[in-house]
């Protein structure tokens, strides 16, 4: 079987919400809340489907760290990310 190299940009939206949830450790309802707050802006396909990029997942991992380890709420996370330019 021939091998093919697949190159996916870190900005390409390829992960559905359930996969992004599993990779980031955040529940789906939290991802929806973060989308509503404008912290993460996944690409929309249709009205319901959200697709996340690798960069989005990395951002979500950082958000998870801030929530779990530092006890920061959504408003605080938004301020921290804005200050850090993320």
Chain segment 26-53, per-residue pLDDT in tens? 999 999 999 999 999 999 998 889 999 9
Strands, DSSP E only, in the chain?
Answer: 15-16, 43-45, 49-52
How far the first Cα of the chain sits from its last, in Å, is 41
Residue 5: is its pLDDT beyond 80? yes
**Residue 48 class from Cβ within 10 Å (0-12 exposed, 13-18 middle, 19+ buried)?**
exposed
Q: What is the mean pLDDT of the chain?
A: 94
Assigned domain for 30 exists: yes
* pLDDT per position as a tens digit, 56-86: 999 999 999 999 999 999 999 999 999 999 8
Whether 48 is in a domain gets the answer: yes
Mean predicted confidence (pLDDT) in 9-36? 97
Q: What is the pTM of this model?
A: 0.89
Domain with residue 73: its CATH number is 1.10.1660.10
Phi-psi region of 46 (alpha: psi -120 to 50; beta: other; left: phi over 0): left
pLDDT at 32: 96
């Amino acid at each position: 079987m021939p091998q093919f190299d697949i190159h996916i940009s870190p900005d390409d939206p390829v992960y559905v919400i359930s996969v992004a949830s599993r990779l980031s450790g955040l529940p789906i309802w939290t991802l929806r809340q973060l989308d509503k707050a404008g912290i993460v802006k996944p690409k929309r396909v249709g009205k319901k489907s959200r697709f996340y990029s690798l960069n989005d997942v990395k951002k979500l991992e950082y958000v998870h760290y801030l929530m779990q380890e530092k006890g920061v709420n959504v408003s605080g996370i938004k301020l921290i990310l804005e200050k850090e330019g993320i």
